Amino acid sequence: MLNLMFKRKKFSKVWDFPGFLTWTFFFFGFLYIPIVILVIYSFNSSKFAMIWTGFSFRWYEKLLTNDDMQQAALNSLYVAFVAAPCATAIATLTALVVVRGGSFKSKEFSNGLVTLPLMVPEIVTAVATLIFFAFIGINLGLINVMIAHTVFCIPFAYMPIKASLEAMDPTLEVAARDLYSDRNSTFRYITLPLLMPGILSGFMLAFVISIDDFIITLMVAGGGSTTLPVYIYSMIKMGVTPEVNAISTLMLAFSIILVTGYWVFSKKS
């Protein structure tokens, strides 16, 4: 009995297991050390990516004169600023129907149908989207990418919005209706303000997914509609340069800001 109590006390916390901390440090080191190295070498003054010769902002200054890269960055922003709001609006309406739409037979099926793209490999979604566009004969350049990103980002926006709506106290809406508020006023003054943190979280998550997407964009993008991830991939095929390190660092910083914002609003929600 004493021996059993000793074992339970010894392994009462997960990091008490032998080797757990070692493997944890190894995992995080393997995950983040390459990113740290990339950021450091983005400030390298040498024209070779992995030969350090001194600290410099040379490659960040070069990005300001690279018209092709700037156009690719603008394309990414155009797509994200169209796809993210559209996906968020559709996800919000879907969440309202699923959560506040009462009980109906296909409720669970509808919820699974919306979240299914999260479990389907992205390459399958990309190939299916490409075949669909070719079948119906749509070739609108950057608009193809916007449509594909909107559909792909819906489940990512849907999950935090649905979670926020499920956590909302429904009695507040019932109280508003008891005080002679109609459906539109209840939604405008009660439901929407309380749901706004979840909507903003869904928007930011959809935005960062869209701006970072590579596989779907590579499949459906036509001439003149190259986004930043696709442009970086084309540069890497010629070899990794400090300029690639610099633009990757900027994308990393931008993504961190958006994900931090998503976390803040999710916490408020």
For residue 59, the model assigns a pLDDT of 83
* Integer Cα distance of 163 and 145 in angstroms: 28
Residue 6: band (very low, low, confident or very high) from pLDDT cuts 50, 70, 90: very low
pLDDT at residue 12, rounded to an integer: 58
pLDDT digits (tens, 9 = 90+) for 153-210: 999 999 989 888 888 877 777 787 777 777 778 788 888 888 888 898 889 889 989 9
Q: How far is CA 27 from the centre of its chain?
A: 22
Domains and CATH numbers, the chain: 12-59 (no CATH), 60-268 (1.10.3720.10)
Mean pLDDT of 131-155: 88
User: 90 falls in which pLDDT band (50, 70, 90)?
Assistant: very high
Question: Quick check: 65 pLDDT over 90?
Answer: no
Express each pLDDT in 241-269 by its tens digit.
778 888 888 888 887 887 787 777 666 55
Instruction: Tell me the pLDDT band of 142, cut-offs 50, 70 and 90.
Output: confident
The helix (H) or strand (E) run that includes residue 265 is: helix 242-268
Q: How do residues 108-118 score in pLDDT, each as one tens digit?
A: 777 788 888 88
Nearest Cα to Cα of residue 126 among 218, 3, 9, 230: 218
pLDDT (tens digit per residue) in 217-245: 988 887 778 888 888 888 777 766 778 88
Torsion of CA 228, 231, 236, 240, to 10 degrees: -60
pLDDT one-digit tens code per residue, 26-57: 888 888 888 888 888 888 877 776 777 778 88
Backbone angles phi, psi at 55, to 5 degrees: -85, 135
Residue 156's pLDDT is what?
92
150: pLDDT confidence band, cut at 50, 70 and 90? very high
The pTM score is 0.79
Token pair for 80: 């994200």
Q: What's the confidence (pLDDT) of residue 31?
A: 85
Distances (CA, A) of 202 to 28, 89, 94: 27, 10, 13
Mean pLDDT highest for which of 9-13, 81-85, 231-235? 81-85
Span 84-96, average pLDDT = 92
The number of helix segments (H) and strand segments (E) in the chain equals 13, 0
